[in-house]
Amino acid sequence: MRRIRDRLGGTGTVVTAVLLALVVTASASGFTLYRIRSGDTLTAIAHRYHTTVARLVALNHLPGNGDLIYAGQSLKVPAPAVAKPTWRTVNTTYVVRPGDSLYAIAARQHVNPRTIARVNHLPRSLMVIIGQRLAIPHRVRVVTAAPAKVARPHLFTGGHVPSAAQVAAIVRATAHRWGVDPRLAQAVAWQESGFNQRWISATGAVGAMQVEPYTGDYLSTYVVHRRLNLYNANDNATAGVALLAVLLRETHGNQAKAVAGYYQGLASVQSRGMFSDTKAYVRSVLALRNRF
Which superfamily is assigned to 83-145 in CATH?
Answer: LysM domain (3.10.350.10)
Q: What is the pLDDT of residues 32-69, one digit of tens each?
A: 777 777 777 777 787 777 777 778 887 777 776 656 77
| Topology given in CATH for the domain delimited by 2-30+150-289 | Lysozyme (1.10.530)
Of 42, 40, 35, the closest CA to residue 283 belongs to: 35
| Sign, CA torsion 277/280/286/292 | negative
**259, HSE (Cβ side, Cα atoms, 13 Å):** 27
pLDDT at 26: 45
> For 55-66, b where at least 16 C-beta lie within 10 A, e where not — what string?
ebbebbebeeeb
Fold: same for 38-81 and 83-145: yes
Cβ–Cβ under 8 Å, residues 190 and 167: no
Cβ–Cβ under 8 Å, residues 182 and 175: yes
Model pTM above 0.85: no
Domain coordinates of the chain in residue numbers?
A: 2-30+150-289, 38-81, 83-145
Per-10-residue mean pLDDT for the chain, 292 residues long?
55 50 48 74 76 78 69 74 61 87 86 89 88 84 48 53 92 96 95 87 80 86 91 94 94 94 83 85 90 87
DSSP 3-state of 259: helix
Residue 140 burial by Cβ neighbours in a 10 Å radius (0-12, 13-18, 19+): exposed
pLDDT at 205: 81
pLDDT at 14: 45
pLDDT at 153: 44
Alpha helices by DSSP H, 68-130: 102-109, 113-120
| Topology given in CATH for the domain delimited by 38-81 | Membrane-bound Lytic Murein Transglycosylase D; Chain A (3.10.350)
How far apart (Å, rounded) are the C-alpha atoms in residues 219 and 206?
14
Residues 162, 168, 171, CA angle at the centre, nearest 5°? Answer: 100
Separation in Å, CA 56 to CA 12, 235, 242: 41, 28, 29
Of 88, 80, 50, the closest CA to residue 145 belongs to: 80
